[in-house]
């Protein structure tokens, strides 16, 4: 069986597992304790992992807040900013193609009296910079803008540099969900001062599940950007996120981030290459029955969203499940299309024939070629 659902999750890298194991066995200390070696070792391990994650993202170490994953990070920023800055305004801007952990949090905030603008997107799911500028320059200036960096269903990259420039110019907090782009595109936010917050998750970059990070950048004066914490308690993570740190997971995330940084170029090239090989194989097999939903360029490498005309995606996925692990790429029920595909103008039939293939460096292309020919 070939695993082609790497946007859902990835296999843990052997090097990651190796560094985690001691922290699940003998090194069980709590990093918030002091002086004895178990505690000090745990503290050092967390500091080292934090440095590696910061290095991948291009931020300072104390700007990395460990969370349980990107769902928590997105909730933390949207709820935390809305609550803390509610005296400054009640308008939030996001887009129609965000991950459910952003969209559903925004819907919740609407029930609490916030006004949310869900920006329309183009045929590939990108927000329009001019639309955004007119909103940012209007009297109804938002307290927060939250826009996904790379889309998890169709892979398009937003123009994060231009968006962050606008946010910097109009002095608006900008949050980006970078979960799907880590290790695949260069996420160096050092040169993008307009990004105030960023969410990511370890299990999308060959790290463990249940750990992620939220980056909270300091302000121009080097002071902490304040938000209301999602979790109150013992004050861990600089009071931003209480709870005993999951040292084993954090250590694993650190190693995964280090590997992602070291292999970024090679990984991204290989994914580009595997993507074009896979597309050619599919075209050879399915000819005119195939239609690609995603853009050719400016996208997450290795993510293919396609329609197999007159094929029901659920039935197809089930049929090939013993040979290929792929997905529809959306939480679409039989009556309701994926919000992403709907936002880019796909009708219910197009949605029902959409498949998402997400590759990794480990894919055996020879074996994949045989399987596709045999389907």
Positions annotated as catalytic residues are 332
Written as six digits, the tokens of 107 are 């819907």
- Determine the Cα angle at 91 with ends 90 and 96, to 5°: 140
Cα separation, 37 vs 70, whole angstroms? 32
In the bound state, the residue with its beta carbon closest to ligand PMP is: 69
Cβ closest to ligand PMP, residue 90 vs residue 95: 95
Q: How far is the CB of 71 from ligand PMP (least distance, A)?
A: 3
Q: How far is the CB of 209 from ligand PMP (least distance, A)?
A: 7
Cβ closest to ligand PMP, residue 152 vs residue 328: 152
Cβ closest to ligand PMP, residue 29 vs residue 69: 69
Task: Residue 10: name the closest of 369, 372, 361, 368 by CA.
Answer: 361
Cβ closest to ligand PMP, residue 170 vs residue 253: 253
Which residue stretches of 309-360 are H helix? 313-320, 339-343, 348-352
Residues 6+ positions from 319 with CB-CB distance below 8 Å: none
Output phi, psi for 22, to 5 deg. Answer: -55, -30
Written as six digits, the tokens of 26 are 């003998």
Task: Residue 60: name the closest of 163, 189, 172 by CA.
Answer: 189
Residues in contact with ligand PMP by the rule CB under 6 A: 69-71, 99, 101, 148, 152, 177, 179-180, 201, 212
Cβ closest to ligand PMP, residue 41 vs residue 305: 305
Name the strands in the sheet holding 354-358, side by side, starting at the edge strand that comes first in the sequence: 290-292, 303-308, 354-358
Residue appearing with tokens 């002091």: 34
CB 267 within 8 A of CB 316: no
Q: How far is the CB of 280 from ligand PMP (least distance, A)?
A: 27
Cβ closest to ligand PMP, residue 100 vs residue 193: 100
Q: How far is the CB of 92 from ligand PMP (least distance, A)?
A: 17
Residue appearing with tokens 């659902």: 5
Q: How far is the CB of 372 from ligand PMP (least distance, A)?
A: 25
| Helix (H) / strand (E) containing 22 | helix 14-24
Q: How far is the CB of 30 from ligand PMP (least distance, A)?
A: 24
Q: Beta partners for 324?
A: 2
């Amino acid at each position: 069986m070939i695993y082609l659902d790497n946007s859902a999750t990835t296999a843990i890298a052997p090097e990651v597992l190796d560094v985690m194991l001691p922290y699940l066995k003998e090194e069980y200390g709590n990093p918030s304790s002091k002086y004895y070696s178990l505690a000090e070792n745990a503290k050092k391990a967390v500091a080292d992992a934090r440095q590696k994650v910061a290095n991948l993202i291009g931020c300072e170490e104390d700007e990395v807040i460990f969370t349980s994953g990107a769902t928590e990070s997105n909730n933390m920023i949207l709820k935390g900013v809305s609550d803390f800055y509610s005296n400054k305004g009640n308008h939030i801007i996001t887009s129609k193609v965000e991950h459910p952990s952003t969209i559903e949090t925004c819907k919740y905030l609407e029930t609490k009296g916030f006004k949310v603008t869900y920006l329309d997107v183009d045929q590939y799911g990108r927000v329009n910079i001019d639309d955004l500028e007119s909103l940012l320059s209007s009297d109804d200036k938002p307290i927060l803008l939250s826009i996904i960096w790379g889309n998890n269903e169709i892979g398009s990259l937003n123009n994060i540099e231009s968006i962050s420039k606008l946010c910097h110019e109009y002095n608006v907090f900008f949050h980006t969900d970078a979960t799907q782009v880590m290790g695949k595109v260069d996420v160096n936010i050092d040169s993008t001062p307009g990004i105030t917050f960023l969410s990511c998750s370890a299990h999308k970059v060959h790290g463990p599940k249940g750990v992620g990070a939220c980056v909270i950048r300091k302000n121009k004066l080097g002071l902490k950007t304040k938000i209301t914490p999602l979790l109150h308690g013992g004050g861990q993570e600089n009071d931003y996120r209480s709870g005993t740190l999951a040292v084993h997971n954090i250590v694993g995330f650190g190693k995964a981030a280090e590997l992602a940084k070291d292999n970024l170029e090679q990984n991204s090239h290989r994914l580009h290459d595997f993507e074009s090989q896979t597309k050619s194989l599919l075209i050879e097999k399915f000819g005119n029955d195939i239609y690609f939903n995603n853009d050719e360029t400016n996208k997450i490498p290795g993510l293919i969203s396609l329609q197999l005309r007159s094929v029901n995606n659920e039935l197809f996925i089930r049929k090939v499940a013993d040979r290929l692990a792929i997905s529809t790429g959306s939480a679409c029920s039989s009556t309701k299309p994926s919000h992403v595909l709907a936002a880019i103008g796909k009708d219910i039939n197009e949605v029902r024939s959409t498949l998402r293939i997400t590759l990794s460096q480990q894919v055996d292309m020879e074996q994949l070629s045989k399987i596709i020919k045999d389907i």
